[in-house]
Amino acid sequence: MKPPPRRFRARFWVELAAASLFGALFLVTLVRRDWLEAFGIEPDNHDGTVEWLLVAGLFVLSAACADSARLEWRRTAPAQ
């Protein structure tokens, strides 16, 4: 027998969306680190330091949001 579907709170969907957004920005920054310069922002004068900090920060944010969404998934009981 198929288990009943789960009913998630809005918090789960926000965390999932944030994890997806941060993950996508992480990949974009990892692949194309000069995307900041396309907007005229050059905080490190083409040093690359800010871009690597962005890669690390976006990875941490993505992992934290994904873990939080995972905990919310596990906390949610199947709908009756």
What would the two tokens of residue 25 be?
């920005």
pLDDT of residue 74: 86
The pLDDT score that the predictor gives to residue 79 is 58
Inform me whether the pLDDT recorded for 37 exceeds 90: no
Q: How far apart are CA 60 and CA 56, in angstroms?
A: 6
Query: Is it the case that residue 23 has pLDDT exceeding 90?
Result: yes
Quote the radius of gyration of the chain (alpha carbons, Å).
18
Q: How do residues 58-70 score in pLDDT, each as one tens digit? A: 999 999 999 999 9
pLDDT at 33 over 80: no
pLDDT exceeds cutoff 60 at 25: yes
